[in-house]
Amino acid sequence: MDNKLFVGGIAWGTTDEALKAFFERVGEVSEAKIIIDRETGRSKGFGFVTMATPELAQKAIDELNGQELDSRALNINLARPQQPRENRGGSGRY
């Protein structure tokens, strides 16, 4: 988990490929994934990038945090483990 990064501030039009290419400036990227809203099919404005090593992940934070991709400044941090969701039941509709 030390090499997985949370990336916020992603422009809605940015693709997984563009995100990967942006991070490849600092080193090998294992995976780049923008999170898509299931209902709308649009980007949620954040995603995750997995670098090849923890050292490259730290280098990406140091060099790319605050840099612009598609005219948006990116906010880059180490990803935290996902917290379990509380199951509230129901369909989610009102």
The Cα 42–Cα 15 span in angstroms is: 11
Q: CATH top-level class for 4-78? A: alpha beta
C-alpha separations of 20 from 17, 32, 79, 89, 91 in Å: 5, 5, 16, 37, 35
Q: Where are the domains of the chain?
A: 4-78
Give me the tens of pLDDT residue by residue for the chain, a chain 94 residues long.
689 999 999 999 999 999 999 999 999 999 999 999 999 999 999 999 999 999 999 999 999 999 999 999 999 999 988 778 776 655 555 5
pLDDT of residue 84: 81
89 DSSP assignment: -
Number of Cβ within a 10 Å radius of residue 9:
15
pLDDT of residue 81: 83
57-76: burial string, b at 16+ Cβ within 10 Å, e else: bbebeeebeeeebeebebeb
